[in-house]
Structures are given as C-alpha cells and as structure tokens.
Structure 1
Amino acid sequence: MSSSVDAALPAPAPAATEALRPAIHYTARDTWLNDPNGLVYWGGQYHLFYQNNPHGNVWGNMSWGHATSRDLLHWTEHPVAIACDEAEDIFSGSVVVDYGNTSGFGTPEEPALVAVYTSAFKAGSGYAGTQAQSLAYSTDSGMTWTKHAANPVLTRNSPHFRDPKVFRYEGEAGSYWVMAAVEAQEQQVLFYKSHDLKAWDFLSAFGARHLQPGRPGAGEWECPDLFPLPVDGDPAAVKWVLIVNVNPGGVAGGSGGQYFVGEFDGVRFRSDAPVEEPSWLDWGRDCYASVSFSNVPDGRRIIIGWMNNWDYANALPTHPWRSSMTLARELRLTTRDGSVRLVQQPVLPAPGGERPTAAPGRVPGGPFELHGPGVPLPDAVPGQAQVIEAEILPGPAGQVVFHLLGTEDGSGGTVLSYDAAEGQLVLDRRTSGYTGFHPEFPSVEAAPLVLEDGLLTLLIVVDHCSVEVFAQGGEVVLTDLVFPGPESVRNRLASTGGPATVRALTITSLS
C-alpha cells in the first residue's frame, strides 16, 4: 500500500459527511463539542455533559451540552444544560451527587446534583479576564440547572485556573470534598478541600514547572482526575491514579492524556514515578480530556475522552456536526514487570447482543496460518461499527498487518501493524482518505508493545471515522480519527516476511 500523502481525497461535500458520523460514538446532532464534563451516573442513566458551542460547529460560546445513556453506547441528546451568557463562558468541570446535602441545594432525602465548573469571565464582569470555580445545581436529575447566587466560590485571580474535578474523600484524614484543578500554564494540579462545596481550603500542589518546552508533557495541563483503584483486583492493595491531560505535549503530538500512579493521603498526591516520566493513556493522536464518571455502581471506574486533537480540531471535514467522544472505557490497575499500570477495556454490549461473523479463510474449530496477502475480512457497512478481536502468534512474520477501510485496488486505507523487529504497534493513516484538510493530520503513531508468550492480542473498533485499538488486554491503546472515502470499505489481514498463526479471529457488527 502506498503511504504517500498525495493520495488524499479532495474535501467531501458537506452533505456527504453524514456518512462519516459514527454508529456507536457520541456526536452532537449539528454543533461542535469538545471536553467531556460532569460525568455522573444518576437515576439509572449515565449523564454526559460536555463543552459545546450551541451556535456553531467550531469552538466558541462555551456551554455545557448534555446527553444521557443507559448503556454508554446509545445516547439521547438533550437541550443545553448550562449556557454561557454575557458575563461568562462555561468551561470544564465535574458533577457530584450531594448525598449528605452538604451544600443545602437539595434535601437528605432528595440530594441535588451539583456541578462545579470553571467560569471564564468576560469583559465587563466583576472578574474579567480570570478563570474561577463556580457552582450550579439540579434537583430534577440533571435536566435543568440553577447557578449559585454567590459564584464564584474559588478564585486565584488567575487567567488559567480551571477544570475542577471533585470527589468525596473518606479516609484517615477525615471526610470531605476534594477538588483537583489546574494552573494550566504552570503545569500544576492544585488540591483543595471543602465541607459544603462552597468554601474551599488549599491542600497541596503536584506539578512539573521545570519541564523543558517541546518534550512530552510540557504543554498546558488540563482536565485532571484523581481516583483510587485496587491493584490486580485486591481491595487491600489500593493505588491512586492522577490523570492529567496536556496540550501540546502529547506523546503522539498535539494534545494527549498522561497519568501518574501513586498515593493520596487526603492532602497530598505522591507519584511513584518522577513527574518527568508520565505514563500515557493513549498512544494515538485523538484521545484528549479523558475524565471519569462519578457515582458509578459497584465501584467501577469508567472514563470517556474527546476524540480529537487541538492541532486540527476546528478543521475536521464534517458538517454540521464536528467532533465525537471516544468509547467509554473501564479502567483497572495491573502489575507488569514490577510496576503498576492502567488497563483499559471499551464498554461494549454483552455477548448476547453481538452478531459475530467468521472471517473468510478461518479454519472452523481451530487456528489457521496467515501467509502474504492473507485473508479478506468483512467489509465495513454503513450504520454499523466493527469490532475485530484477534489472537495472533506472529512467529517468523516480520509484520502482522490489518488493512482497514481500504479501496478495492488496495491504493488507500488505514494500516495497523505489529512490527516484530521494533516491538511496536503502528497505526498509519497517511492514506486513510480525506487527509488534506490540515497538514498535521496525515500521521503515523507507534506504541511499544511486548508480546506475552509470543502472543499478540488485539481488540479493534472501527467506526466510520475512527479506529480504536486495545492491545494486550488493554495495556496498550491507540486512538486515531480517519475519514475514508465512500468506496473505502475493504478490510484485510496479512503478514510480511513469513507466516503467522492466527489462533482466533472474530468480527462483530454493532449498530
């Protein structure tokens, strides 16, 4: 397959881009969206609030959009939840269920949902040019919101103090609300505590002011999240995870998500690794602002990210909608080679709701050997996403290659390959279709990958305008947008340099 960027298709007509709208990823109907906000489970539904421009499909007029879902796959869009006005834009934040009615906005029997968000104050307001933290509350399950009369509740008189993520801390240090927010340009996460969500006291800071410009992690820090998880499923062995999104400075370029594993004693977060050596949530170009849901039953920790990159976000070739969210991903902590790391698995339907399709060429009841051009996989189908699950022993093969969303003659498409010599998983979208809308879009992403007992395991979700890859059980994740042309529906699995053994291969269609 050619890798020349000259293969880029001309820009699609606006009417044609509806075919690029994903089947199982959330998009706003006809407007712009970015960071997920206020993720909360309440009343049997997952509430997704998000940065939204209600009046257009580029960034601006920042307000909180709103959608709900019972399964994290099928979403219902609702009217704007918290709207910008002449005094403020509504930037990122979080929502908590105030069970103890600590704020006084609800009752003990019927607790309020409380949104803690960043007010980006405009000229003419009393806090013009600053960003500060404010409150809004809902007593009707998130459908309507009232701004707190005494906003803002926390200010540093700073132009870049934003993105509060609030959770309830219960530990040796006491019982109270904790806020993680950022001084974005100082690369600092600041922790505060409160007993009523209104009055906040400073606790500590975690940061990296000394990072050199141009290195990964050295851009503005945004959208923090702090939460505990058991290690290897052991409730007696708990670590804390601090997610900090960064722009620019992502591992693949532009914006990206980093994380640290460590300890939190109710006052201070201490990372097990140096701040100069973060781990990465996603090695692709298009997973940013990932934050987790609060109040999820059974202690599950589920995140969603914005599937885009600030390098080219406003230029995506879609109309009237622009941008989507990643799939929801459930997080676990696991120990590998003496260190603790996150594992991510996409939230997908239970097996009873799937429609598996055996790939042509598969030997019924057993593995098959993969040679050269390999085997065709089922074509992409409008209105459906494909989930490809594979267990492969690369053996003597130099590369195992998935050609995704390609053309009949093989001249274009997205290439996902495992390179044995480099020990890397590589996602190449340089000939993926509509790539000429921005010079930063044609790209190749690579992630280090270690086989386990010689085995490569992949879960690949292909959904119209995106490819999400979860390798080795979710220890390595790659997410990229792609914008294939209308004829780009062919999929194939191949090998180079020698045969490989495909131990299992399943294709599932989801609509």
Structure 2
Amino acid sequence: MTAVTATTADTFRPALHYAARNTWLNDPNGLIFHEGVYHLYYQNNPLGNVWGNMSWGHASSADLLTWTEHPVAIACDDLEDIFSGSIVFDRHNSSGFGRESSAPLVAVYTSAYKSASVHHGIQAQSLAYSLDGGYTWTKHTGNPVLNRGSSDFRDPKVFRYESDAGSYWVMVAVEAQDFEVVLYKSHDLKSWELLSSFGPANATGGVWECPDLFPLPVDGDPENLKWVLTVNLNPGGPNGGSAGQYFVGDFDGVTFTSAATVTEGLQDPDRLGDYQWLDWGRDYYAAVSFSDVPEGRRLMIAWMNNWQYANNIPTSPWRSPMSLVREVSLHTVDGSLRLVQQVAQELASLPAGHPPFTADVVEISEGTHLLDGAAGSVQRIEATLTAGTAEEFGLIVRGNGTKGTRIGIRPAEGSIVVDRRESGQTHFHESFASIDAAPIEPAGNSYELTIYVDQCSVEVFAQGGHVTMSELIFPASTSTDVSLYTIGGTATLNNLCITQYA
C-alpha cells in the first residue's frame, strides 16, 4: 500500500502495490534492508509521467505493506542520467566514504552520459554515498569508477562475496547489446578487475538488462547451495515484449557456470517455452532482489509494465506500479532446479477488510456463473479446481457480466492462460489486448491458484508458485464481479476462499 489516497480521477491507483505519487517510474534499483527499513529506489522521471530525465526515486517501508515516498534520491543533471544500479552497506568502510561513527551506504549506478560530458554517449559505472541511512546522497568526485568505453554497459548489481580464499565485492552488469553478463571484482568499490563473462545464452530476442546473482539452498538444505543468475530482456519475452529469465548453477568467486545445458549464441525463437522465466506474464520486468534481508530471505520486486506499451497505459498523474514483493526459493522439480515464488509473508498475512467469501465443492457446468457475494476490486483469491471434460475452465475477475479478465486452465494444451481482451480499457495500444499462456502441470488432476487482484493488475501464482503470471488490467470501477466459467464441458471447483482488502 502507498501512503497516497486515490481520487476519482485516479481510478487505477493500486491499493496493494507501490506507485509514485504523480510521476513515472520503471526499474527497481538499490534494493536494501537497512536499520529495520526496506528501501526501494527506482528509475524515476521527477518531471513527468513518461520515460525521461532518469533519476533515482525513493520509497521506504518497515513492513513491505505501507510505502512512504521520499524526495528524489539521486538526480540527473546536465552531464548524466542516472540509470539502474544497486546499493551496498559498506560496513567496514572499504570505500573510505564513511566517517568515524557512520559506515556508508554506497550506490553503484550507471551514468548515462549526455552531450555536455566528456564521456558523451558512454554508459559507465559510478558511485554515490549516504551517511544518513539512504535519504541523502553525495556523488563520488572520481566518477566514473568503471568505464569500458561502451554505449550499453549498465545495471550493476553488487554484493559481498565471502569464501575461504578471501572476501571482496562482486559486480554483475551487462553489455546489453551483446547479450552478455560481465562480472568484476573490487576491494574498495572504486577499482575494478574483470573476472569473467556469461552469455549469450537462451533468450536473446532483445537487449539484456538488470542482472542479479545470488545463492539459494536447494530444497531448503543449507549444505546444498546453488547460485541463481537472473537477467531481464526486452523484447523477447515468452508472450511478447519485456520479460526476465534465469539460470541456476555454480559461482566460484570468478565464473558463473550454468548447471543445465543452455542454448549458446542467438536464440531459436521456437524454443522460448523451453527456457526458465521469472514470470510468464506481460508485466514483470527488471526484477532484482533486496540485499541484507534478515534470516537469509531472498525477496524480489519488479517493474509491473511492458516496454511495448509502457508510456501509454491509462493512469494519471502517476504511471506504472511495482509488483508485489516475492520471496523466492529453489526446488527440485522433475529432476531440474526451478525457482518457486510466493508473495512475501508480510503481504500474504495482510488482514482482510471483510469476512472472506468461501465455497465448497461445486461442479461447474458449461458457461459463465456469477458468484453472488464475491465481488471486489482488491482481493486475494485462493482456488483449487479439477479438470473434467472442459477444454478450458477457470475464473473471471474484475468482471461485468461475461466480460472481465479470464484466468483459465487448458488441460489438453498443458497451459494456463490470462485473457485480457475484455478486461477493460485496451485500446490505448495495439499489443495490449492479449491471451498470454504459460506451461502448467496438474497435481493429480488438480490446479491450485492464488490470485492477487488490485485496481490495475492481477498476479497469478499457480501450483504453489511454480508458475507465475503478472498482468496489468484497466477495468471500469464498476467491474468487480467474480465468476466461474468453463468452455466445452465441465470442471470441478474443490474449494474457494476470497479475501477482500477494499
């Protein structure tokens, strides 16, 4: 939830997701938990609600539920735009930016140099530091600290690597047009040494951006750690436009090696469904994880939009929300290592505004069946359905009659679909009205869905978070119905619980 009250003219402002008060945002940046507070920085145009004047906006939260927007953290100027990056807590003051009583937070960001700069046309990595917990920032006078002379070298994610052989900072960045992740090493955040590179591999249908690299225990076993490399690309997603893929493997402090066979070089467009995607929906991009979260939790958040239509979505005066914060874990699924994603517990345990709507076993006959008493605009829907003879079955949310956003299972295809062709406003861009699909396997013959519905979005977590789909929608304020439906036969609703938040 954001500390902003929606108005009549602000119909689509989300209740559960963060959005800036009255400006544009895109990629999350500088995610860190520090002194009891989650800090969310992000690409922000402080002067408008379309992309431009890239600076770092800033919001903070103690609970991942209520976000407070702060003044712009790191602003663009005549010499540079401030592109994506990350923040580390330099607790031992390796950078020398700290003071006797205050270790610094250090932001590592991409300087996109403008015509007035001697580095015009170059993207290079720079530093800024904060001595007040992340609220005010000072740019390093020695910027940039890492310059490859490239026009597309960006999006540094930095973390502290600890091993028996030593401890140092590792930067994971991209050469975007080359579909290449590059890794660097530093002891002071100022001088960097090239370690290795990864890619091109798997999906290469668009530039690579916003990488991340982190360890996770396999099946909860802390003695069995694997490393996850995420990289976002635009376009080239499995359903068109922006998306994020991931690789699971090993990192020895120098090189990341994928545990699974990857498609090297430029992709085969027919193999998109074979790759590992962070999210199969149209609106989950630039996902990165928070640093220093207690108890080793790995929390991620993404920009909820798609570059195909990002500047055109019908929100005002703000434009673009963030996704819900997710906790990710690594599990063995059919012999392969896969990410499993759940909404962070702080959000999943959000108290309801009303008693929940529940339903027991119901056979769903062909057609659309309104659930009387289930209407709402901000909801968590938990349902288990079993296939029968139907070609497709599922739920319609934010509906009006038979129209709305369809979330359906197609058993014969082995797919789950989100159909937003009749979801509300779709005319603002030719690519928005879509049927998006993801592969899904039944458990027995059943399908478990958890769906978060907000004023302008649905986030679907299927089969316990093994498959996720995030989609923007723009329904009328009066479109609040929830319905069950089948096409071409019957299905069974085993259980249903709808929690109302507004």
Work out whether the TM-score is over 0.5. yes
- CA 1:86 to 1:378, structure 2 compared with 1: closer, same or farther past 3 Å? farther
User: Do structure 1's residue 341 and structure 2's residue 338 form an aligned pair?
Assistant: yes
1:368 is aligned with what amino acid? V
Q: Tell me, what secondary structure is at the counterpart of 2:11? A: helix
Q: CA deviation at 1:380?
A: 4.7
User: How far, CA to CA, are the matches of 1:89 and 1:350 in structure 2?
Assistant: 37
Alignment of 1:91-490 (within 5 A): 91-107=83-99, 110-208=102-200, 216-276=203-263, 278-347=275-344, 348-349=346-347, 351=349, 353-355=351-353, 357-359=355-357, 362-363=359-360, 367-372=361-366, 373-376=368-371, 378=373, 380-381=375-376, 385-407=378-400, 409-410=401-402, 412-490=403-481
SS for the counterpart of 1:280 is coil
Residues 231, 208 of structure 1: alpha-carbon distance in 2 compared, 3 angstrom cutoff: same
Shift of 1:488: 1.4
Deviation by residue 1:168-193 (Cα, 9 ceiling, x = unmatched): 00124421000000000000000000
Compared with structure 1, are the counterparts of its residues 86 and 459 closer, same or farther at alpha carbon in structure 2 (3 Å cutoff)? same
Query: What is aligned with 1:6?
Result: none
What amino acid maps onto 1:386 in structure 2?
Q
The CA distance in 2 between the partners of 1:378 and 1:242, in whole Å, is 44
1:100·1:108 contact (CA, 8 Å) conserved in 2?
no
Q: Give the superposition deviation at 1:68.
A: 0.4
CA–CA separation in structure 2 for the residues paired with 1:278 and 1:169: 28
Q: What TM-score comes out, normalization by structure 2 length?
A: 0.93
Report how far residue 501 of structure 1 moved.
2.9
Q: Deviations over 1:442-497 (max 9, x none)?
A: 11100010011222111000101101000001010001100012321111123344
How far apart are 1:441 and its partner, in Å? 0.8
1:318-362, Cα deviation, whole Å (9 max, x unpaired)? 1110001000000000101100000000125464723564436x2
The CA deviation at 1:499 is 3.6
Rounded to whole Å, the distance in 1 between the matches of 2:500 and 2:69 is 24
Q: Counterpart amino acid of 1:89?
A: D
Q: How many residues align?
A: 485
Task: Show the counterpart of 1:495.
Answer: 486
**Structure with more relative contact order (C-alpha pairs < 8 Å, separation 6 or more):** 1
Separation in 2, partners of 1:106, 1:377: 60
Alpha-carbon distance, 1:386 to partner: 0.3
Which residue number corresponds to residue 506 of structure 1?
Answer: 497
Opposite residue 359 of structure 1, the aligned amino acid is F
The 1-side partners of 2:365 and 2:357 are apart by: 15
How far apart, CA to CA, are the structure 1 residues paired with 2:110 and 2:220?
35
Q: Which runs of 5+ in 2 are unaligned?
A: 1-5, 264-273
* SS of aligned partner of 1:24: coil
Distance 2:60 2:239 in 1: 31
Query: For residue 253 of structure 1, what is the amino acid of its counterpart?
Result: G
State the match for 1:10 in structure 2: none
Q: Provide the rounded CA distance (Å) in 1 between the counterparts of 2:70 and 2:118.
A: 31
Measured after TM superposition, the shift of residue 274 of structure 1 is 3.5
CA gap 1:444/1:108 in 2 versus in 1, 3 angstroms = farther
CA contact (8 A) 1:37 1:51 kept: yes
Match of 1:448, as an amino acid? P
Which residue of structure 1 aligns with residue 64 of structure 2? 72
**How far off its partner does 1:423 sit?**
1.1
Q: Give the superposition deviation at 1:71.
A: 1.6
- Deviation readout 1:252-309 (Å, 9 max, x if unpaired): 1111000000110000000123443631001110000000000100000000000000
Task: Give the TM-score taking structure 1 as reference length.
Answer: 0.91
Matches of 1:378 and 1:88, distance apart in 2: 54
Please list, as runs of the form range in 1=range in 2, the aligned pairs for 1:14-29 lying within 5 A after superposition: 17-29=9-21
